[in-house]
Amino acid sequence: MLEKLDFRSVFGPAPVTRVQPAEVRRAPDGKAILRIHLVCNEENIMKTLLKTQLHRILALTVVTTLITFLMVGGVLIQAASKKREFSGKLTFKVCRKLPNGQWQEIDKGEGPLRFEASLIEAVGAKQFTSNYVWNGTSTKGQGFSSALQGTGKVTADLTSGKFDLTSVPLRITSGGKTVLANFALTTETVSAPNGESLSGKRARIVNKQGDIAVVGFSVPVVVNHEEQFTGNRKPADKKKVVEELIFIARAEGKIAAK
């Protein structure tokens, strides 16, 4: 009868492998002593303990990952709702690199600039996005359009008003040609490749808005195009021209939090 007892329900299925027949003995005082022999497998015990530990670790990992995901998601949702609006004007210059290495101004222009951007904070750094497309015309009548390509990066010190837009990738289109130019803009003073000194203006933030001016220039971009020469009113062969250009920019106006 005792051999049919299910001791595995108490000790677990893995450790107990066999139950030996029970023995009944009499103590000197006449009381009965019941002895039950359980044969256990040490390897099964270790496997059971290991499985239990792994299950606990797995459960803890899943819970930790879920909590982290929810926290990060909440931060991004909150950060994505931060809007910044800029209203002012943009002044730009286009410079071409000469054979002697110097930069020559070949065109310039200015126009109103008003856009809204979304500010996203991630690990102490700030990124911004905008779907605004700027359109303007140069002094030579050349049409220009530009738009932010991807995300830009910015660091800001609201106490001092210093802003550094360390990466502003712009897609610029003019004359049927499109180039991707990455700008670095700042509220400080910098020297452009053409030797010009550019001075920005630190932001003065009052009631979540203030005046600001950022200046800077793009990395050099290479543009390929064709020029057609005429002589004696007869068209000559087209000549392929490769030019290296930089764009110098100044944006000034008011910035406000929405």
In our burial notation (b when 16+ CB lie closer than 10 A, e otherwise), range 47-80 reads ebeeeeeeeeeeeeeeeeeeeeeeeeeeeeeeee
**pLDDT at residue 116, rounded to an integer:** 87
Total tally of structural domains belonging to the chain: 2
**pLDDT at residue 240, rounded to an integer:** 76
**pLDDT at residue 66, rounded to an integer:** 39
Domain boundary among 79, 105, 120: 79
Residues 177 and 64 in one domain: no
DSSP string computed for 174-220: ETTEEEEEEEEEESSEEE-TTS-EEE-EEEEEETTEEEEEEEEEEPP
**pLDDT at residue 216, rounded to an integer:** 97
pLDDT in tens, 33-78: 555 555 555 555 555 555 555 555 544 444 433 343 333 333 333 3
Residues 115 and 234 in one domain: yes
Domain boundary among 25, 47, 79: 79
**pLDDT at residue 115, rounded to an integer:** 87
**pLDDT at residue 51, rounded to an integer:** 57
**pLDDT at residue 88, rounded to an integer:** 94
Residue 74 tokens read as 């909440």
Structural domain boundaries enclosing 65: 2-79
How does DSSP classify residue 37?
-
Residues 224 and 174 in one domain: yes
In whole angstroms, give the CA distance from residue 187 to residue 214: 5
**What is the dihedral angle through the alpha carbons of 22, 26, 29, 35, rounded to the nearest 10 degrees?**
-20
Q: Which residues of the chain have pLDDT under 50?
A: 1-17, 19, 58-81, 123, 232-233
Residues 135 and 222 in one domain: yes
**pLDDT at residue 201, rounded to an integer:** 95
Residues 222 and 135 in one domain: yes
Question: Phi first, then psi: what are they for 125, rounded to 5°?
Answer: -95, 165
Among left, alpha and beta (phi > 0; psi -120 to 50; other), residue 48 is: alpha
Residues 176 and 209 in one domain: yes
Residues 100 and 75 in one domain: no
Q: Whole-model pTM above 0.85?
A: no
